[in-house]
Structure 1
Amino acid sequence: MRGRIFNHSRKKGRFIFLSLGIIFMGTGYFIAYHIGLPLIKEAKASTGWPTTTGVIQNSKVKVHRSNDSNSSTYSAEVVYRYQVEQNEFQSETVWFGGDISTSNRSMAQETVKKYPAKKQVTVYYNPNEPATAVLEPGVFTMTYFYYIFGWLFLGVGILSTGIPLFRTLFRIIVGNR
């Protein structure tokens, strides 16, 4: 009886481990290939986009406080307006990947200092979608954040599903000798 309960618990544990692994793989794939990779491609393409003049409307450091701890993260909120072919647009993208909050307040402060309210700026806009714009074109270290983060989830998922599957396959091969 005890062996049967133990065996049932092991099977249930493997099922949960495999299920979590599949969830991690799906989440990782989505983050890496539906958020991260398009962001990298857009950042690379932005270096060839046409430019227009814009004006910073608002620039401030946003503080995000955690409800369950005393920690805070910071991000720069820079809002600018620009015009393309008589159409006015507003954007908040300073660089692709720059919308991530970090515990480093000085990073957000530097961005806000660089782009104060009422400053005239050069805006790079997507010629096929003028509502998409950026102040600093190209790929930066933070641009890779979602892609790498997605791959971390994907890796955990692969390990979580691969190890139990490999063990089962190993038992089948070794057990048949």
Structure 2
Amino acid sequence: MNSRHNRMTNVGRKLVMFLGFLFIFVGYILAYEKGLPLLDRAKASKTWPTVEGVVLESRVESHRSSNSSSSTYSPHVVYRYQVEGKDFEGETVWFGNDVSTSDRTMSEETIRKYPVKQNITVYYDPADHAIAVLEPGVFKTTYFFYLFGWLFLGLGILMASSVLFRSLLRLFRGGAEMQTPAESAG
């Protein structure tokens, strides 16, 4: 029974370690591959050049998962603008507006600001004219992926380090117990 318990304990440790590293990996991707570039782009957008554009589509999108009865909402705005004689279409109202929330009113307020056929000011990235935004700067939702990524990173680090710490503690305790009989014999 003791060997079965030890085997189950080892499997448990390996599982927690695996999940810890998986959380670290996912957290890194969310925070540093998605979140941080989004924050950098949002900050930079305040100094981007502008052109006139026009709203092509404007609606609230509803999202319902298959295992839930509740819905989340996000604004869907499509606009056209032209830079150096070339036409572009954009869908970004602000960096982070692709985050769905259960608050429909926020999406409805956004849609009211951008009705179809309305002329608008578009801020575009001078390095990549296909990247544009209607409301430059950083907003609360801009931080979503960065903070969510750090939540995963923190949990992963906590899980992995707890297993490593316990293993090191057992190693040192086992090493101290093994030294004691040898010291008393000498």
TM-score range (shorter-chain normalised) is over 0.9
CA deviations on 1:42-98 (whole Å, 9 max, x unpaired) are 001101100000000010000111212211000000000000010000000000001
The normalised TM-score by structure 2 is: 0.93
Q: Deviations over 1:126-175 (max 9, x none)?
A: 01100000000011111010000000011111011000111111122233
**Would you say how many aligned residue pairs link Structure 1 and Structure 2?**
176
Q: Please, what TM-score do these two structures have when normalized by structure 1? A: 0.97
Larger Rg: 2
Structure 2 residue 42 is the aligned partner of structure 1 residue 40: no
Structure 1 residue 104, shift from structure 2 partner? 0.4
2:184 matched to which residue of 1? none
Is 1:136 aligned with 2:112? no
Does the alignment pair 1:65 with 2:46?
Answer: no
- Give the Cα–Cα distance (whole angstroms) in 2 for the partners of residues 111 and 117 of structure 1: 12
Q: Distance in 1 between matches of 2:173 and 2:7?
A: 22
Is residue 9 of structure 2 the alignment partner of residue 13 of structure 1? Answer: no
SS of 2:164's partner is: helix
Partner of 1:53: 52
* 1:100-119 matched pairs, under 5 angstroms: 100-119=99-118
3-state SS, counterpart of residue 73 of structure 2: strand
Match of 2:183 in 1: none
Q: Provide the aligned C-alpha RMSD in A.
A: 0.8
Cα distance in 2 for partners of 1:65, 1:7 equals 44
2-structure distance, mates of 1:47, 1:131:
16
Corresponding position of 1:84: 83
